Structure 1
């Protein structure tokens, strides 16, 4: 970092007192001085519903995992374990409207209950109702930290791309355009990162079917709370008195006042400042502790929420090959939450949509979102380049964790088969100590987590001159009227190498020259072709004719709609497992990952049905990991590389120079790949347009619910109608910006 950057960072830190309060600090402060309504403050005096205290839950996950039924062979399998007690804790249905989450206002954490379940709340933002239409929100981003009496310089979020460590500054304007005061229970300003899945069956539905909030940072001073928080080190304010402070620039009120009321005729202004973190909290991947899952994922796709707030952004949606219903988004959010009954007297009856879950207080009064606004912006994390040792460690760790998961599943299957065999042979004279075996499995897993450390890296690098290869094999067969004749086996091999391509932002986000980035989009791949002939030959070996050599860049996006992905994928774990010779490539994510785990799932389910839940118990985490892998969704986009060179020139039939002997033949070539010439299948070629000007390749990443990977698929077309493929990993990395 330059000295200028250090000076700027010190200046910001010295100016701004506190940027990021913790979530627990925020929620504990929200709970201070709670004014619990009197029992008779509501003329309707609703009787409290009947509920069990233990039935309250505080997260979206509770509703999605309260059912213990699993899919992919486990649709009727109840979780059980000798080490973990698993029960179904769904709320009792109070009436035909559905289940209820209770925000008990007599406790100190009732507002935390609301925040944790905010996506269950009915939302008036997009409904045609005069109270929601009366509240106007506007969010603006500024170049520098906002200060009272200083005119800010606005910046447009639609043309600026942020990275980790950047400051995010601005303000929000709030107006009540009705002639009546509007009370509220909560108002908060926060910086959110969300993974969302939209409703596939209804393109008009803006309510996502899945929201995973992986990043949540509250602005302590911008949100409403009981005390005044000094934002800048130069501010000296009484924390216990709500002063009527106005900004002389535009006369806006900078404080809400003591009462939680939006008064008509007043424009409120709330400043915010955030710093984009270097990574997510470790707790975001609590279940598995995977290091890549706590890195900031890049902005991908376009959520229906963003389109609902800013319809014009749908016209400028980027082509980044994100599945249409998925999105990863970042934005500053402002939200008012209140009790429905407090608004109905002045603004008329509020009809909330029927839903499975409602959030109410002890008197049955429902909480709803009065108004919210998120102004989204683009975040693409700068890539940290690993050393060779770090890369080897990560590859080895991935392999060990993957193999360990499979071993645990197979161990459980073998255990079940032994129990069934013993019962059938009347040899069940001793009880299998399942608890002991589970303990041993966990011990072995802990060992595996440590195996990727220095000793294994040292062993992996014991022979620095050893070159490892990606390899695929294809039997060569000549078909005729009289039958088929084996000609040998074609082997395709390429040295294991990481081909790094520089991330180039979309045109409107480019704030720097890309001249130093574009050379990485043109590179050569070493490819060795060899044929092993049959051991018995009646005549001279026949070399098959290679009609064409083509290349495609494959963009793979993997997502999980319900459960976190339990492993980190890498190229070696997923690809180059089979080569059938067919035009349709079956060496893919579905065949190599999803189908094997579905097979394991069905085997376990059959054992469970035979032995019963009381005799065959499975750890909850193992079942959830297996279910997550069985239900992974994956989308591939194959981009054609138009400009492919073989040994520096366009490939011509019979141009390869084979070295032939009695048992084998071989040829080594250099395949030049120019990614600037990438073309979406079906589009008309246009040599004047560069690929990075037409679509965006975001840096590859992995998170608990979404992953993006890239590889080059080289295809050799043979004269007998067969196709042989090999896949080479490509890494998209952001180095500047």
Structure 2
């Protein structure tokens, strides 16, 4: 095929592509064809009616496509592409050559010859192609794979990788997660990529309504849209790859070093929207062939020769399904909570050289954005330079004209890209409420044991006792086996519940308060003496509630994302999740119960007729952000971080001492040319660093209207032992004009959001205030 032809000319020209001897789809095609046959059999047996609203897993040929009628936007193929499919489409060894000829085409008609192809050639020196006409449409029937376009990978980018760690032949190609590491090259400001998100699945020839800028997506929602690639120049522009991805990033600014730490925890690829040699059916279930034009004069699809014609626009449709959770390898510590998608939080003001740094909150609206579609939304969510952002990214990649990799091959570079921010709020519970004490104590014991083994190794090496060293090595192996078994048991016990578990996770919070009344004044202005029998200890006890507070957002966001505004698929997803929980599990927290006991300092005294009365009750919301620049190895709970700051600082100092001791031991091992990894695992160094660098910023917000329930509260009653007790119920209600945005609490590897209700009790004739902080959940159900 000749470069520079328009898409229509390409479609009309009858050419015979050269054999690509370095491409072998045989193994992947065999696997995908078996999957296709099974999926079609499932569809045939299902006998899906015309107007049903269903989710299908299988490939649809032309006849089956027509059976769905006009409501094709209600059919979505929710199948994950296999590993073989992903590697076959995106392996860099297939794309290193810069030939612009058409690739071999595979279609259903070629199926009978699969066995012959498999037996005749499996190496890169052979070819597997058909004589199918190159101008045949990229229809639903003619495809390499039965897999849908959405969700190729969902991976975690744990840390920045140096150039020495990346093979030269794989930068950004066989692993699309490396695209963000590619250099950029300026081509022309008239070469643009535009991402558009629509309310519903696309329909060919019809203008789609754009999605609201204030749209919030939740778990299991579909994100529909299209990308327009426009070459408005007067010359041809070749490209090499094109990717459309859904990504999630967490960013943290260290308050001391002023460094910015980024980590990508979500990376999903729409294989159909991205460019590939294969013909991949779109998830949104639309039929088109390359060369067709849509309503806006855009050619559907990208040119097979990978050359953008001058003064031409191209369109690719995409569909993403927001996952309910991340892959298991997201958290190297195996923490179930860390695999749940966190809500959108804050705005990364350092993204792309401060692209969104000028966004300000409108006081009247309670939020702010840049004024253009795809802008992130800034709210008063107390993020404090800690952000979690989701976006749809489209990147057009070519080979750089001057830069070379280590093997002398042209280096790929990003010609242009575009991002569209999407706001995400997870459905359901955020976290269970347990204490962090056991997990942190277990981590300390593990670190201390490793340090002890390393010190023992050093001592035995100095003595030259080889038998004792061998015995130590065996002991360490047994310790590792025991530890691995204990971790498996622990992970099963702490698995995240979608709903409240059958066993109780309620814990108790109690504080002791010394009540010392103020000395009253006499008629002559002198203070009366204070006798010891007027003072005493007040103990306040409450239980951590299972009910939670609702997600709170600005009024216009609530109105835009009301359930009544959902489309058919969005409503079906909401009802599916909502119906999986009982009404008891979705109860909102409306009150807190407290038990008081008073023990007078002078039990022998009978002068006290009753304990002190409560003169005032004030409830406030405590918001805590717990973060680290390395993966946090344990679950973070409010009882440890925002209820007892002194305890938190003590823990940090202990791990700082561990870090110093580990550095000293490593220096001694290096001096003796010993391998410390055999005695102290690398993960120990990383975990100690993460705990040492833990930071907790806490803020208190008066968001509640607080009233004492006289009906459900009791007066003081005296016990036989001389102590006094009473029960108090405090009603909670958000202020009508609450300014803050309260996102669900969550935990991730680098960042966690924790909430407490701070209840302050003031007693008559006393200036001191008794304060109780109760950990709570905050979640979204409606």
Tell me if TM exceeds 0.5.
Answer: yes
Higher relative CO (Cα under 8 Å, sequence separation at least 6) belongs to 1
Residue 669 of structure 1: aligned partner: 728
Select the residue among 288, 292, 300 that pairs with 1:254.
300
Task: Verify the 8 A CA contact 1:188 1:218 in the aligned structure 2.
Answer: yes
Asked if 1:226 is matched to 2:277, the reply is: yes
Asked if 1:471 is matched to 2:535, the reply is: no
Tell me how far 1:607 sits from its aligned partner. Answer: 6.9
Asked if 1:558 is matched to 2:608, the reply is: no
Task: Verify the 8 A CA contact 2:547 2:588 in the aligned structure 1.
Answer: no
Please give the alpha-carbon distance, in whole angstroms, between the structure 2 residues aligned to 1:202 and 1:185.
Answer: 39
**Judging changes above 3 Å, is the alpha-carbon distance between structure 1 residues 300 and 415 closer, same or farther for their aligned structure 2 residues?**
same
Please give the alpha-carbon distance, in whole angstroms, between the structure 1 residues aligned to 2:164 and 2:394.
Answer: 25
The TM-score with structure 1 as length reference comes to 0.69
- DSSP-derived class of the 2:189 partner: helix
Select the residue among 428, 441, 446 that pairs with 1:408.
446
Asked if 1:185 is matched to 2:240, the reply is: yes
- DSSP-derived class of the 1:226 partner: coil
Asked if 1:279 is matched to 2:325, the reply is: yes
Aligned residues: 605
Task: Verify the 8 A CA contact 2:390 2:424 in the aligned structure 1.
Answer: yes
Tell me how far 1:333 sits from its aligned partner. Answer: 0.9
Please give the alpha-carbon distance, in whole angstroms, between the structure 2 residues aligned to 1:433 and 1:599.
Answer: 27
Residue 543 of structure 2: aligned partner: 495
Structure 1 runs not aligned, ≥5 long: 39-57, 65-90, 92-98, 238-242, 343-357, 577-586, 678-688
Asked if 1:139 is matched to 2:195, the reply is: yes
- After superposition, give the CA deviation of every residue in 1:606-663 in whole Å (9 maximum; x if it has no partner): 37637933687422112212211221232222111452222349x9xxx974647765
- DSSP-derived class of the 2:279 partner: coil
Task: Verify the 8 A CA contact 2:87 2:174 in the aligned structure 1.
Answer: no
Residue 104 of structure 1: aligned partner: 168
- DSSP-derived class of the 1:447 partner: helix
Tell me how far 1:409 sits from its aligned partner. Answer: 2.8
Residue 621 of structure 1: aligned partner: 683
Tell me how far 1:669 sits from its aligned partner. Answer: 1.5
Residue 562 of structure 2: aligned partner: 512
- After superposition, give the CA deviation of every residue in 1:99-140 in whole Å (9 maximum; x if it has no partner): 6666534xxx4544673433333446xxxx6x3422222221
Select the residue among 576, 592, 596 that pairs with 1:525.
592
**Judging changes above 3 Å, is the alpha-carbon distance between structure 1 residues 729 and 234 closer, same or farther for their aligned structure 2 residues?**
closer
Tell me how far 1:145 sits from its aligned partner. Answer: 2.0
The TM-score with structure 2 as length reference comes to 0.65
Please give the alpha-carbon distance, in whole angstroms, between the structure 2 residues aligned to 1:671 and 1:428.
Answer: 68
Please give the alpha-carbon distance, in whole angstroms, between the structure 2 residues aligned to 1:534 and 1:623.
Answer: 51
Select the residue among 377, 392, 407 that pairs with 1:362.
407
Superposition map of 1:166-185 within 5 A: 166-185=221-240
Superposition map of 1:111-150 within 5 A: 111-112=172-173, 115-123=176-184, 131-150=187-206
Tell me how far 1:191 sits from its aligned partner. Answer: 1.5
**Judging changes above 3 Å, is the alpha-carbon distance between structure 1 residues 592 and 715 closer, same or farther for their aligned structure 2 residues?**
same
Tell me how far 1:159 sits from its aligned partner. Answer: 2.3
- DSSP-derived class of the 2:95 partner: coil
Please give the alpha-carbon distance, in whole angstroms, between the structure 2 residues aligned to 1:140 and 1:502.
Answer: 31
Select the residue among 257, 261, 284 that pairs with 1:210.
261
Bigger shift: 608-617 or 704-713?
A: 608-617
- DSSP-derived class of the 1:624 partner: helix
- After superposition, give the CA deviation of every residue in 1:310-345 in whole Å (9 maximum; x if it has no partner): 977873444242424222122211112233326xxx
Bigger shift: 261-270 or 721-730?
A: 721-730
Superposition map of 1:566-605 within 5 A: 566-572=633-639, 574=641, 587-588=644-645, 591-593=646-648, 595-603=650-658, 605=660
How large is the RMSD of aligned CA atoms in angstroms? 4.9
**Judging changes above 3 Å, is the alpha-carbon distance between structure 1 residues 249 and 553 closer, same or farther for their aligned structure 2 residues?**
same
Task: Verify the 8 A CA contact 2:395 2:416 in the aligned structure 1.
Answer: yes
Please give the alpha-carbon distance, in whole angstroms, between the structure 2 residues aligned to 1:194 and 1:102.
Answer: 21
Tell me how far 1:468 sits from its aligned partner. Answer: 5.5
Task: Verify the 8 A CA contact 1:60 1:117 in the aligned structure 2.
Answer: no
Tell me how far 1:248 sits from its aligned partner. Answer: 4.3
**Judging changes above 3 Å, is the alpha-carbon distance between structure 1 residues 428 and 648 closer, same or farther for their aligned structure 2 residues?**
farther
Select the residue among 432, 439, 443 that pairs with 2:478.
439
Asked if 1:319 is matched to 2:384, the reply is: no
- After superposition, give the CA deviation of every residue in 1:208-230 in whole Å (9 maximum; x if it has no partner): 93332222221111111123323
**Judging changes above 3 Å, is the alpha-carbon distance between structure 1 residues 197 and 260 closer, same or farther for their aligned structure 2 residues?**
farther
Asked if 1:34 is matched to 2:95, the reply is: yes
Task: Verify the 8 A CA contact 2:603 2:722 in the aligned structure 1.
Answer: no
Superposition map of 1:50-69 within 5 A: 61=158, 63=160
- After superposition, give the CA deviation of every residue in 1:72-97 in whole Å (9 maximum; x if it has no partner): xxxxxxxxxxxxxxxxxxx7xxxxxx
Please give the alpha-carbon distance, in whole angstroms, between the structure 1 residues aligned to 2:503 and 2:595.
Answer: 21
Please give the alpha-carbon distance, in whole angstroms, between the structure 2 residues aligned to 1:362 and 1:454.
Answer: 50
Please give the alpha-carbon distance, in whole angstroms, between the structure 1 residues aligned to 2:273 and 2:462.
Answer: 69
**Judging changes above 3 Å, is the alpha-carbon distance between structure 1 residues 257 and 313 closer, same or farther for their aligned structure 2 residues?**
farther
Superposition map of 1:623-662 within 5 A: 623-641=685-703, 643-648=705-710, 657=716, 659=718
- After superposition, give the CA deviation of every residue in 1:154-193 in whole Å (9 maximum; x if it has no partner): 222x122211222211111111222222233221111112
Residue 681 of structure 1: aligned partner: none
Structure 2 runs not aligned, ≥5 long: 1-48, 57-67, 100-154, 362-367, 370-376, 520-526, 565-582
Larger radius of gyration: 2
Please give the alpha-carbon distance, in whole angstroms, between the structure 2 residues aligned to 1:101 and 1:610.
Answer: 27
Residue 745 of structure 2: aligned partner: 700
- DSSP-derived class of the 2:53 partner: helix
Residue 52 of structure 1: aligned partner: none
